[in-house]
Structure formats: structure tokens, C-alpha cells
């Protein structure tokens, strides 16, 4: 994390240890994201270079093939994660409960309460696997009682 406007440099594992990796140099969210997104592409790229230079002096000249994406420009996406303050608790509870044989899991269903992308997706999957295991146990117990 760095001071705005770039806010975050991220080193994803994509192409790690290859000649040319991937660096997200300016992941801007929340306050200031609209202002940053409204800047021309060249200004966004310059800001990302400044962020890299701040953390890795002398290395920003290695940046190449820049790309800028705003979530609101991605079809069917309204953002990278769920904003709990805009999502009623009863709606969350409805999606987090099983519906017959249908179970939902995903980072937006923050059963763990964390709400951080991949970690939340993994925690949600663990939660649903636990629900499924409990269902199987109950079915087996019911079958055993019926057989006795």
C-alpha cells in the first residue's frame, strides 16, 4: 500500500519467474477512484510509473504494455467485491442458506466475515462443504433410525 493516487502495487503470481511478469501498478478503490478513472490513460500510466519508482527506484522504465480498466466499464460487473454496507443482512442470509440441493459459495458471500476476494471465496467454499457434510451426516442418521 502506498499513498494515493495509485494506492496499491500488486505482484500477482501470473507469469511469476518468467522474463516478463505482471505488475498491477495502481489498483485504486474507494475515495479517489472516480477521479483517477476520469484521468486520461497517459496520466494513469504516469501515475503507475511514479508508484513503481517510489517503491523500486530506477525500475519504472521496465514497465511496458500498460493497461487501464475501470470496473464500471466491464459488462455485468459493478465492482470487484461486495460492499457489505450496500447489501442487506437478510439478503446475505438468504444466499448463504441452502435451498434444497442448491448451495451458493463465492467471495461475495462472506460467511467468514473477512470480505477479501480469494480468501473469502476459499472460506465460503469451506463453509459450504461443511454444510454439505452436515447434510450427509443428518441423512445417514435419519436412514439409520428408519432402518432400525
pTM, two decimal places: 0.59
Classify the phi-psi angles of 118: left when phi > 0, otherwise alpha if psi is within -120 to 50, otherwise beta.
alpha
Give the list of residues 6+ apart from residue 39 with CB closer than 8 angstroms, or none: 47
Average pLDDT over residues 18-25: 80
The full set of domain ranges for the chain reads 9-73, 84-147
Task: Dump pLDDT digits (tens) for 27-36.
Answer: 787 777 888 8
- Give mean pLDDT, residues 79-100: 78
Using CA atoms, how far apart are residues 12 and 34, in angstroms rounded to an integer?
A: 24
**pLDDT computed for residue 98 by the predictor:** 94
Q: Using one digit for the tens of pLDDT, what is the confidence trace for 91-144? A: 778 888 999 999 998 877 765 555 667 788 888 899 999 999 999 999 999 999
High-pLDDT (> 90) share of the chain, %: 24
For residues 66 and 63, what is the distance between their CA atoms, to the nearest angstrom? 7
Residue 5, preceding bond cis, omega within 30 degrees? yes
- Per-residue pLDDT at 119: 81
Higher-confidence residue of 49 and 7: namely 49
Cell of 98: 441452502
Amino acid at each position: 500500500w502506498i499513498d494515493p493516487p495509485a494506492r496499491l502495487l500488486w505482484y500477482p503470481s501470473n507469469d511469476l519467474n518468467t522474463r516478463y511478469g505482471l505488475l498491477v501498478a495502481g489498483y485504486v478503490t474507494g475515495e479517489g477512484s472516480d477521479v483517477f478513472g476520469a484521468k486520461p490513460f497517459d496520466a494513469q500510466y504516469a501515475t503507475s510509473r511514479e508508484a513503481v519508482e517510489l517503491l523500486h527506484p530506477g525500475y519504472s522504465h521496465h514497465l511496458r504494455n500498460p493497461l487501464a480498466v475501470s470496473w464500471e466499464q466491464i459488462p455485468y460487473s459493478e465492482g470487484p467485491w461486495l460492499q457489505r454496507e450496500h447489501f442487506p443482512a437478510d439478503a446475505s442470509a438468504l444466499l448463504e442458506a441452502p435451498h434444497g440441493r442448491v448451495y451458493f459459495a463465492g467471495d461475495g458471500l462472506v460467511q467468514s466475515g473477512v470480505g477479501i476476494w480469494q480468501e473469502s471465496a476459499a472460506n465460503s467454499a469451506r463453509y459450504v462443504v461443511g454444510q454439505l457434510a452436515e447434510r450427509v451426516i443428518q441423512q445417514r442418521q435419519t436412514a439409520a433410525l428408519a432402518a432400525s
